[in-house]
Amino acid sequence: MKDPRKKRVLIEEDVLINRTIRAEGLDLSEDGMYIYTQTYFLPDSIINVSFNIGGELVEVSAKIQHAQPGVGLGVKFFELPKDTLRKIREYLSTR
């Protein structure tokens, strides 16, 4: 479930899943992202997600919280490096 206290912003940015699957990030919070993709993944799967934030490429590990076949994935970041979290927070604060 989404934490209503966490700011989410629309991003509409290209995302690369597991370094091979092209997708589109639709919204971003410091905890996770919703990703539009036609590729189905099982909930609770761990994936690698790469995307640009503030002009810099970041790569994070994420757990699939929910999957909607043919629509997309809600993922939660984990083991987020402090510098990546800082970049995400800075990005969100400007939106």
The pLDDT of residue 6: 73
Residue 62 lies in a domain: yes
The pLDDT of residue 3: 52
**Contact status, residue 34 vs residue 27, Cβ threshold 8 Å:** yes
- What range defines the domain where residue 68 resides? 9-93
The pLDDT of residue 10: 87
Q: Give Cβ neighbours of residue 46 (< 8 Å, ≥ 6 apart).
A: 61, 62, 63, 64
Residue 23 lies in a domain: yes
Question: Does residue 74 register a pLDDT over 50?
Answer: yes
Residue 1 lies in a domain: no
Question: Does residue 68 register a pLDDT over 60?
Answer: yes
Q: Mind giving me the DSSP string for 27-45?
A: EE-SSEEEEE-SS---TT-
Question: Does residue 1 register a pLDDT over 80?
Answer: no
* Average of per-residue pLDDT across 69-93: 92
**Domain CATH for 26:** 2.40.10.220
How many structural domains is the chain composed of?
A: 1
**Contact status, residue 49 vs residue 35, Cβ threshold 8 Å:** yes
Residue 3 lies in a domain: no
Residue 2 lies in a domain: no
Residue 34 lies in a domain: yes
